[in-house]
Structure 1
Amino acid sequence: MTVISFGMDQGVWGNMYEQHVTVTTKHGRMPAFAACPDGAGPFPPVIFYMDAPGTREELRNMARRIAKQGYFCLLPDMYYRLGTVEFDIPRRDDAMSAVIRASMNSITNALVTDDTAAMIAWFDANDKVRPGPVGCVGHCMSGCYITTVSARFPHRMKAAASLYGVNIVTDKPDSSHLLLPQVKGELYYAFAEHDQSVPAHVIPELRASLAKTDVANTVKVFEGTHHGFCFAERAVYNTEAAEQTWADIFDLWKRKLT
């Protein structure tokens, strides 16, 4: 599919309005992919935080799926501080994995908070974006970020979803679960049953932390799944779990954003 600049694509996705855009942050110029239904709108905004392998067509297709449901989806390149970082995932080997880990570790909760402030300002300046509540979703490394931004922007972030998120509960002073009392929106966490990136104590501690708040939340563990089960291009893809997760998230956003 050819991505065109704020035009209309009539391919498999139907009439779609999409563009590669630039969001100016306090740290520089952050490239992002924007998609929404063709038409005047305005549409409720959703931020799609990437996973560790970074922005790629697989994620842009997910952004288009979100847009097809009636949302303005923004997929930022969170590695912009490093320059242009793109990984050819089918050729992934140990050397590439090391670079991916280093790229992932270059991002912090504080930096994502800064970037999210810039994206919300960008939404507010866009006529196609409906003012008010914002939704978000994050895969893998961004599971902790959706929690953080829900707390840092409680007046705007009303519906956040984490898919097999990592580093949500840590022993660090900036661990996102410590911010849960500040959250005003609704949170959704989907975990894989088998995930070496999520220590055994994380899910029980997350549930316990949520129980101490009045935050509306859902925490699910999908039986028989592995980390990354929503990615159709991976061997661990689980159709049933992935589609249930999509349904859950769209239900959340419909209730909170529309």
Structure 2
Amino acid sequence: MAETILFDEPSDVLGERPLSRRGFIAGLLSAGFALAVRPVTAQTVIHTDSVGLVSGAVAIPTKDGVLPAYRSAPQGPGKHPVVLVVHEIFGVHEHIKDITRRLAKLGYFAVAPELYFRQGDVSKLESIEAIRAQVVSKVSDAQVLADLDAAVDWAGKNGGDLERLGITGFCWGGRIVWLYGAHQPKLKAGVAWYGRLDGERTELTPKFPIDVASELKAPVLGLYGGQDQGIPLETVERMRAALKCAGGTSEIHVYPDAPHAFYADYRPSYRKEPAEDGWRRLQDWFRRHGV
């Protein structure tokens, strides 16, 4: 079995590793929030503590290096259902880490891999345009899906129950949820938050969710905002039609007055009621489908 490196917060009961390695892996994850989203809207930031949890940076072996990730799970013995958390365009910063802790409080083994660490550190870039041009444009879907597979394998060897595997993702990660639903046969369910459904196909991004609606191996719940300027309702309706044509049990729910990123409690786009309703729907969706 491949060596697992664990660098956890004080609530972790597992063994420590040398400080130099701790600093190396933890340093590959964003501290706080990405520059591109600062200043943060402090009055709406939700903070979930690590009491009763094992939470912190971990290193996941892959075929071509070590994948940094943030993991949160309930303390104590026993296996827990696994939920992959796919970050926004801003990488694994504090909001994404907090989401893993929210899931862990519900009893899940949640892991959020830094899916474009090979291409660069987006946390230091000051605009979304720079992030797209300098980093994300170089990331292939094939790399992302392989890294998620590595995270699943790692979770199964470190306390996760792969018989109950789910995935959720936000914005950039929402698109990935749909693609992973068509890729991973072990998956039980996915929840995609305002992920792009269609767009320009390239060598690195050859397919979009609308292309794989008939290939989904697990039901996906899509949560979208009716006022999202980047994902027109016409595109959402085309995805709905594609899902209906394909059969299955995937669904899309639209919040008519919500903008893009309505779950991002650290940004002005946050909308409390849709965010809380979406979180309830996520929990229900996972329960219904065996996660």
TM-score range relative to shorter protein: 0.7 to 0.9
The structure 2 residue matched to 1:123, chosen from 155, 159, 162, is 155
| SS of 1:152 mapped into structure 2 | coil
Distance of aligned partners of 1:73 and 1:211 in 2 relative to their CA distance in 1, 3 Å threshold: same
**Aligned residue number for residue 237 of structure 1:** 270
Match of 1:7 in 2: 13
Partner SS for 2:207: coil
CA contact (8 A) 1:5 1:20 kept: no
**Aligned length, in residue pairs:** 246
Decide which moves more: 233-242 or 197-206: 197-206
2:185 aligned with 1:148: no
Is 1:138 the equivalent of 2:169? yes
Q: Which residue of 2 aligns with 1:60?
A: 97
1:27-42 → structure 2 map (5 Å cutoff): 27-42=64-79
Shift of the alpha carbon at 1:190? 0.6
242-251 vs 194-203, which moves further = 194-203
In the superposition, the TM-score normalised over structure 2's length comes to 0.78
1: CA distance, partners of 2:116 / 2:11: 22
**TM-score where L is the length of structure 1:** 0.88
Distance in 1 between residues matched to 2:251 and 2:170, nearest whole Å? 16
The answer as to whether partners of 2:240 and 2:252 remain within 8 angstroms in 1 is yes
Point out where structure 1 has 5 or more consecutive residues left out of the alignment. none
* Structure 1 stretch displaced more, 176-185 or 203-212: 176-185
Identity rate of aligned residues, in percent?
Answer: 26
RMSD of Structure 2 on Structure 1 (CA): 2.1
Q: Distance in 2 between matches of 1:112 and 1:229?
A: 24
- Counterpart of 2:179, as a letter, is T
User: Which of the residues 171, 183, 188 maps onto 1:158?
Assistant: 188
State the alpha-carbon separation in 1 of the partners of residues 162 and 254 from structure 2. Answer: 34
Moved more, 237-246 or 24-33: 24-33
Distance 1:28 1:14 in 2: 32
**Distance change in 2, residues 1:87/1:189 (3 Å):** farther
Cα distance in 2 for partners of 1:194, 1:59 equals: 23
* Matched AA of 2:183: R
Aligned pairs (5 A) from 1:24-103: 24-87=61-124, 92=126, 96-102=127-133, 103=135
Deviations 1:152-173 (A, max 9, x none): 11x211110111111x223634
Q: Residue type matched to 1:138 in 2?
A: G
Residue matched to 1:212: 245
Tell me, what secondary structure is at the counterpart of 1:241? helix
Amino acid at match of 2:245: K
Counterpart residue identity of residue 175, structure 2: C
Deviation for aligned residue 1:185: 1.4
1:206-246 C-alpha deviation (Å, 9 max, x unpaired): 01110111221221111211111111111121110000000
Rounded to whole Å, the distance in 2 between the matches of 1:5 and 1:20 is 13
